[in-house]
Amino acid sequence: MLIKFSVNNFLSFKETQSLSMASNKSNRLQNHLKAFGNNRILRSALLFGANASGKSNFIKAIDFAKHLVLKGDTSRINTDKKYFRIDKSYQNKPGIFQFDLEIKERYYSYGFAISYNTNQIISEWLIDTTGKENIIFSKEQNGNNLDITSNLKISDGQNLERFNIYLQDFKKNEMSNLLIINDLSKRTSDINECNILREIMDWFKKIIVIYPTTHNRSWGFKTISTDNDNLLSILSELDTGIESSAVKVKDLDLVFEGIPNEAKETIKKDIINDLKTNPKNTILFNKGKNIYLIQNKENIKNIEPIAKTITFNHGNKDDYFEFNDESDGTQRIFDLLPLLSIINENHLILIDELDQSLHTKLAQNFYNTFMDSSNKAKTQLIFTTHDILLMDLELERQDEIWFIEREKDHSSKLYSLSDYKVRCDKNIGKDYLLGRYGAIPILKQNIDLGQKNE
């Protein structure tokens, strides 16, 4: 689980800003916590702030770090203009990203610093912080020298020697753009003491990021474990106006028509692997104006995916709506529904603008459903929102509510409601709009439209 994320010199984040998922001492809403001995970690965080305050940039910071870790090579990601551009000197300063994590009830600090000028990884570290700090590996620029150290105990002498040789490879200039954790997680696959490298990599693989323009196909073609009748029941309960639907089998190759061959083969592989896990799963896949239900062919033991187009009846059985005809809110529901099928798989889920196109009650329902259904898992949800009605201490704890404010130098400042003394029965949404907590737009006057009253 994520305990804390810190970022420095990335987009609007100038100096180090941190979001902590470690709980305060409050005993309210204990089902929003996961306890590990004396340590308690929050399962959700909500980010509020004015437009252009940096909320989306916070999501992008984690997303950027995720992609770099999984690619393992700075040449394979876009680092152009990722520094704090308001101050030109920050182009010459590193971008720094650090994740404090709980993995199998032990605690680790993993991070790296990247040079935007050279695209080199100038430092990287993985430290076991469970008790006395133990350096699993550390790479640090020290003047003109590059220091690489490790205190990892490996019982087999040959494996220890091999591990140290691999580490020293990162002093070579041709390795300067590679992340140690990605490279060594593969090269040490037969060394048990190095399993933590693969466990950290697996944690990053389980980060799901959803932006306002993200459709469910963009974050892994995830499934919703339900049949069509149950799907319709869900849509009806959410008051979408859909009364019934019609499905028609469509050739799978036609569904993927127009998608580049390499991407198409990856999609098919993901679909088959998903259906192997559970042949009864339904994969929601929207493309163009249609949404498709991809399922395993009925009454066969082998995996043979088939696609069905789905259209919707809103009261006129002679004129069904295609997916593209549905409201933005209904389309957003389809993008979020698959999350409810994976909430017990220990993901970190980040949603930029959860409330986009959703009524407050729908957003509240999604949040409550998520928290209630995932309370036995290590899944965490972090989302940004402008909906003040979601800022409710009956829904969340004080330490789950965070603010992002744009400073005078246009940098982003991140801070928690826990920094204020707030009673649990307080109407914090009203106080927020009155400016008590900052992070609101500063409007000097009404907009002058250049019109004169006659």
Farthest-apart Cα atoms in the chain, separation: 90
Count CB-CB contacts under 10 A for residue 252. 16
**CA 250, CA 284: separation in Å to the nearest integer?**
14
CB 382 within 8 Å of CB 3: no
Amino acid at 148: I
Task: Provide the CB-side half-sphere exposure for 55 (13 A, CA).
Answer: 25
pLDDT in tens, the chain (454 residues): 999 999 999 999 999 999 999 999 898 999 999 999 889 999 999 999 999 999 999 999 999 999 999 999 999 999 999 999 999 999 999 999 999 999 999 999 999 999 999 999 999 999 999 989 999 999 998 877 889 999 999 999 999 999 999 999 999 999 999 999 999 999 999 999 999 999 999 999 999 999 887 765 443 444 555 555 666 677 777 778 888 888 888 888 888 888 888 878 888 887 888 788 777 777 877 776 778 888 888 766 788 888 888 888 898 888 988 888 888 888 888 888 878 778 888 999 999 999 888 889 989 988 998 899 898 999 999 999 999 999 999 999 999 999 999 999 999 999 999 999 888 878 888 888 888 888 887 766 666 656 655 5
CA distances from 375 to 25, 34, 210, 369 (A): 19, 8, 21, 10
Strand partners of residue 107? 102
For 144-197, give the DSSP string: TEEEEE-----SSHHHHHHHHHHHHGGGSGGGTTB-HHHHHHHHTTT-GGGHHH
14, 87 Cβ separation under 8 angstroms: yes
Q: 144-173 burial by CB neighbour count: b if 16+ within 10 A, else e? A: eebebebebebeeeebbebbeebbeebeee
The residues, ordered by sequence, that sit 6+ positions from 162 with a Cβ below 8 Å of its Cβ are 188, 191
Q: Find where tokens 């509020």 sit.
A: 48
Q: Helices (DSSP H) in 256-327: which residue ranges?
A: 261-277
DSSP secondary structure string for all residues of 119-133: --EEEEEEEE-SSS-
Q: Which CATH architecture has domain 1-214+345-454?
A: 3-Layer(aba) Sandwich (3.40)
User: What number of H helices and E strands is found in the chain?
Assistant: 10, 20
Nearest-Å Rg of the Cα atoms of the chain is 24
Q: How far is CA 299 from the centre of its chain?
A: 37
According to DSSP, the β-strands at 106-114 and 121-128 are antiparallel
Beta-ladder partners of 142: 145
CA torsion angle 35 36 38 44 (round to 10): -40
* One-letter amino acid of 283: I
> Hey, CA dihedral for 9, 14, 16, 22, is it positive or negative?
negative
Q: Which of 75, 370, 381 is nearest to 209 (CA)?
A: 381
Residues of the chain with CATH 3.40.50: 1-214+345-454
11 backbone dihedrals φ, ψ, rounded to 5°: 50, -120
